[in-house]
Structure 1
């Protein structure tokens, strides 16, 4: 798949976002409450949600209207059809206490399809006078942290992350439906409050909590009377969705895109995550359901995944610029007139490129053959040198009194593989020269055939005049 097709695919998804939102809502049901879209399996009113766990009540007395998740009575901030919902969770300061004191999230998720997201939430502890332990039950500790006090308040105000100075954070275990912690204070404040400890959306904690000035004025004992709630990400699952054959459910980690999501993760971590539509930043870390490629809508709604007519979209996406687009089930086809679609310039470029490529390939093959032949030739020379007593000759030469610096042995072999295989050696006017005493030897006056096994070292030495 080319980069252009990948970009076109995501652009196409962006264009179809509005239609997808409309299809993901059950027919005849309220589409929005205030500024929040309510996709199925959530719903407002009787018969509009999958079950009571996903029922949404819409408070029309506020402006704009406010949606609430009825099963836990929490305000809904946003809903992702990919398995996540953000709610506003009440937050209250912790009382200073030198004794071990219990704290808990006054929202129970037990018996519901919701869990506290470990991927998108963190345990935040504001203030440096508390030690906090996160508990999975009455006695089991699964995390915690303690911040170090820093007197230079202005320096810490400009910090972009909570890294242990005047505040700290701890990882939340996966699958929690109850949230409880224990804390102990090492110092008391004038108002009796020693900061905050609460689970919160990582993205909000990185950027938005500093909007409360009271939390920054005294970071050893932070307190702001307007700070009464914070967003919490819940993940949800539908165990047995009634899917048609165009929808599917899968593990969220099986599908990844090229988008970095560090804008809502720890600054020290970078990872990849599913990013089908830009508004769906939050995706279940366990499983979610979706419509197959070429379809849009909601797999939770009966017949909710419908075919996308790509031919009605921008022609730059369909790649049918000079042809005719035909929509098919789950895809599309392009029909081009004979000779259309490729210009003469493109044909010339393709031809030139093909010729150059063929030439380069031929040159590479020629060079490879030359290299291989040269290696074979060198290997055969070494084999014949060893077979005909060359090693013994070298040993005898090294044991003589003659200076090796003056010794030069030159053996001219005919560059003929057939000659080498037949062990024919020499031709007329060729000889062996040692110490420039060529005149002391008679030349080989013809081609001679010899048996390598019959030649001894003494024969070699007599030839050399030793």
Structure 2
């Protein structure tokens, strides 16, 4: 089977992130005596690998060295991380898409072997990024949607193909409904279960008698990655994963105003740091003050930035 466009894009993203991580930033400082990397991915505190290396269990990571290169895993929810950013408060995880494939009479012949639900429930660190991600449905006819922990609809969209369409193609104007559609997700999302609603040939409105594709897919994905990289044929019948952006924050209190009242637990440890309220759920993050760089979560972690030389 020919490697799909989407698979190549995931591979390209992985290579880019690994190469970008090859130069360790000043902020990539671990807790003293703890590992600073898993493979080529830096592990800055408040994250950590090993006992006593993370701020709390929700920031604890696992470095699975049975893979080559080693894989960085979210310890509490088992997501595979491709990247971890202290400055942006983001992590990129590889998460499985959902797939269903049909015969000519719309009988189900093949579907994803993994669970339809993806969860961060119980996490005091991560949320699915509402700003960076989009929920995507591919294939025709396909009403893709996801539900919350109570089974209620959260977000979704519907894609159709014109009768002349013989292949699943995202139009040159973007993923706008023909063969592909996308929708936004709400903030503070920690769980989604992915569903595909298909239709019998010729049922109902004439639009349902348009072109069909053998397989249909739904997934949450990094919008920038998907919209800039996906074009053309897509008809794979194996399991695959796509990059999803996670927002992380210190979430044991509502915001900075509350956090600073408890200096013992306050996460912004460096004297040259400042607090930023989370924009995705409750909590806050820390950053070095202007003119400083490093890790604001460590005592003395933010140091004076090295001036850039100018030449005349």
Instruction: Give the TM-score normalised by the residue count of structure 1.
Output: 0.48
Can you list the C-alpha shifts for 1:90-147, whole angstroms capped at 9, x where unaligned? 2231366899xxx975332111121111111111101122223333354543332111
- Paired residues of 1:249 and 1:290 also in contact (CA < 8 A): yes
Aligned counterpart for 2:78 among listed residues 57, 73, 76: 73
CA distance in 1 between counterparts of 2:276 and 2:27 reads 21
CA distance in 1 between counterparts of 2:72 and 2:151 reads 36
- Partner of residue 308, structure 1: 305
- Residue 205 of structure 1, CA deviation: 1.4
- Partner of residue 122, structure 2: 111
- Paired residues of 1:72 and 1:107 also in contact (CA < 8 A): no
Aligned counterpart for 1:293 among listed residues 290, 294, 304: 290
- Residue 193 of structure 1, CA deviation: 6.2
Aligned counterpart for 2:157 among listed residues 125, 134, 145: 145
- Residue 183 of structure 1, CA deviation: 3.6
CA distance in 2 between counterparts of 1:234 and 1:88 reads 10
The answer to whether the aligner puts 1:244 opposite 2:244 as a matched pair is no
Can you list the C-alpha shifts for 1:274-311, whole angstroms capped at 9, x where unaligned? xxxxxxxxx9998431000121111111221122353x
The answer to whether the aligner puts 1:53 opposite 2:58 as a matched pair is yes
- Partner of residue 418, structure 1: none
Q: Secondary structure of the equivalent of 2:169?
A: helix
- Partner of residue 255, structure 2: none
- Residue 61 of structure 1, CA deviation: 2.6
5+ unaligned residues in a row in structure 2: which ranges? 1-22, 109-113, 202-212, 252-265
- Paired residues of 1:85 and 1:235 also in contact (CA < 8 A): yes
Q: Secondary structure of the equivalent of 1:206?
A: helix
Aligned counterpart for 2:143 among listed residues 131, 152, 165: 131
- Residue 64 of structure 1, CA deviation: 1.8
Aligned counterpart for 1:195 among listed residues 195, 216, 221: 216
CA distance in 2 between counterparts of 1:248 and 1:141 reads 38
The answer to whether the aligner puts 1:175 opposite 2:188 as a matched pair is yes
- Paired residues of 1:160 and 1:206 also in contact (CA < 8 A): no
CA distance in 2 between counterparts of 1:170 and 1:104 reads 22
- Residue 202 of structure 1, CA deviation: 0.8
Which has a greater percent of strand?
A: 2
Q: How big is the alpha-carbon RMSD for the aligned residues of Structure 1 and Structure 2?
A: 3.3
- Residue 173 of structure 1, CA deviation: 1.0
- Paired residues of 2:132 and 2:222 also in contact (CA < 8 A): yes
Which has a greater percent of helix?
A: 1
- Paired residues of 1:83 and 1:284 also in contact (CA < 8 A): no
- Residue 57 of structure 1, CA deviation: 1.4
Aligned counterpart for 2:198 among listed residues 156, 181, 185: 185
Could you say if the C-alpha distance between residues 105 and 84 of structure 1 is closer, same or farther in structure 2, counting changes exceeding 3 Å? farther
- Residue 194 of structure 1, CA deviation: 3.9
CA distance in 2 between counterparts of 1:19 and 1:300 reads 15
- Residue 198 of structure 1, CA deviation: 1.2
The answer to whether the aligner puts 1:63 opposite 2:68 as a matched pair is yes
- Paired residues of 1:59 and 1:65 also in contact (CA < 8 A): yes
The answer to whether the aligner puts 1:28 opposite 2:33 as a matched pair is yes
Could you say if the C-alpha distance between residues 34 and 185 of structure 1 is closer, same or farther in structure 2, counting changes exceeding 3 Å? same
- Partner of residue 90, structure 1: 96
- Partner of residue 419, structure 1: none
Aligned counterpart for 2:49 among listed residues 44, 49, 59: 44
CA distance in 2 between counterparts of 1:46 and 1:137 reads 31
- Partner of residue 207, structure 1: 228
5+ unaligned residues in a row in structure 1: which ranges? 1-16, 254-282, 322-466
- Paired residues of 1:115 and 1:175 also in contact (CA < 8 A): yes
